[in-house]
């Protein structure tokens, strides 16, 4: 499926910032995710960072735990929402519209299947000890 140019997630820039701050390359982040139980490639990391790939809630939680930050740190401040909306829908860039667009109500999804990118079977996630990434 070709990318339509509209952002698919809001956490991509934070993921990139956290990865770069740790001195990790995209392949290194993908490898760390794989070691922790999420089968992900460098291309998927690039898609997340470039906001070309949709992110599920479990994926955001997984990344937050991997980076050892709160999930809130992955999401932009409310003040940034109008900028995000302007990128996604240039015709309506006021803050309230941005908030409703990025965090829609359940009614907005009544005719759409919103969980299509989630695994069809429950996924086993490995909880890592606090020092899992320290060299021994």
Q: Specify if 129 maps to a domain.
A: no
DSSP character string of the chain: ----SS---SSHHHHHHHHHHTT--HHHHHHHHHHHT----HHHHHHHHTT-S---HHHHHHHHHHHTS-GGGGSPPGGGHHHHHHHH-TT---HHHHHHHHS--GGGGTTS-TTTTS-SSPPP-PPPPTTTTS--
The per-residue pLDDT of the chain, averaged, comes to 74
Q: Specify if 88 maps to a domain.
A: no
Least confidently predicted of 20-29, 34-43, 74-83: 74-83
Q: Specify if 3 maps to a domain.
A: no
Residue 43 belongs to domain with CATH number: 1.10.260.40
Q: Count structural domains, the chain.
A: 1
Q: Specify if 90 maps to a domain.
A: no
pLDDT tens digits, one per residue of 41-52: 999 999 999 999
Reported as a pLDDT band with limits 50, 70 and 90, residue 75 is confident
Q: Specify if 110 maps to a domain.
A: no
Q: Specify if 54 maps to a domain.
A: yes
Q: Specify if 27 maps to a domain.
A: yes
Q: Specify if 111 maps to a domain.
A: no
**Domain encompassing residue 49:** 12-76
């Amino acid at each position: 499926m070709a990318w339509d140019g509209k952002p698919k997630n809001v956490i991509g820039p934070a993921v990139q910032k956290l990865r770069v701050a740790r001195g990790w390359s995209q392949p290194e982040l993908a490898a760390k995710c794989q070691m922790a139980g999420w089968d992900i490639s460098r291309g998927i990391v690039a898609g997340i960072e470039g906001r070309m790939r949709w992110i599920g809630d479990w994926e955001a939680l997984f990344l937050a735990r991997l980076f050892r930050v709160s999930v809130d740190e992955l999401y932009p401040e409310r003040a940034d929402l109008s900028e995000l909306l302007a990128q996604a829908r240039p015709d309506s860039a006021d803050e309230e519209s941005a908030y409703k667009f990025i965090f829609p109500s359940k009614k907005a999804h009544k005719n759409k299947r919103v969980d299509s990118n989630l695994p069809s079977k429950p996924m086993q996630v490995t909880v890592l000890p606090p020092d899992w990434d320290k060299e021994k």
